[in-house]
Amino acid sequence: MAKNDSKAEKPAMSEGAKSYLILYNSVQLTAWTYLLSRIVSHFLAGKGAETLYQENKVLVQVFQNAAILEIFHVMFGLVRSDLMTTVMQVFSRVMLCLGVLVQSTEAQGCFGITPMLTAWSLSEIVRYSFYTVNLLTGSVPYFITWCRYTFFYILYPVGVSGELICSYYCLQTLNESKAHYISPEYATYFKYFLVAVMVTYIPGFPKMYYYMINQRRKVIGGSSSTKKTQ
């Protein structure tokens, strides 16, 4: 699901912490930009969705799961954000990577993989651009701020739709006891867990969507730059 922002005050960070966050966000920005370029070139080459994940699985798994570090960023005070919200947001994507895509060949090649990975890439490019520029300069150009608080209108529902489609195909895999790394006796338990996670999207999606709409109303104004910290 989408990432959110907190307005809580936080003390100035050390130069070491700042350098680390600049490196982390820059690497993530580069990785997601590269993934988006590979998605575009994949379809320009006439290939289908069924091979998209297989050709990019290392990139997706490494850099999406690297977002686990963002939980520790909050825990150690490097970033201002609500810990539980961050945990839930990171968990939803990690669960999709390790619990859905790794387990199910059907999910890897389904028609939901393209909107999911495309929405993830675009949203992360904007998000990590926002953080990197702010850490480097202390302010963010209005264009990047506008993108961060506008693109979610389309990227969030598109991404969530792709996530749910992939999860549905994973359920089919579990029903047929074809999961790659889960034994049949545990597949039923994971299936119920996955269904429970999918159900949380019902209250979670509109809540986060309207939260972002309200954030946009607060942030988007007449100024040419918005000063924020990750």
Other CB atoms within 10 A of residue 78 CB: 20
User: Catalytic: which of 156, 181, 192, 209?
Assistant: 156
- Cα Rg for the chain, rounded, in angstroms? 18
User: Catalytic: which of 34, 163, 176, 185?
Assistant: 163
Tally of CA atoms within 13 A in the half-sphere of 142 that contains its CB: 6
Tokens describing residue 29: 């920005």
Question: Positive or negative, the Cα torsion across 107, 111, 117, 120?
Answer: negative
What's the longest Cα–Cα distance across the chain? 58
Burial of 118 (0-12, 13-18, 19+ CB in 10 A): buried
Torsion, Cα 209 161 177 68, to 10 degrees, reads -50
DSSP bridge partners of 141 = 225
Question: Is 156 labeled as catalytic in the residue annotation?
Answer: yes
| Positions marked catalytic | 156, 163
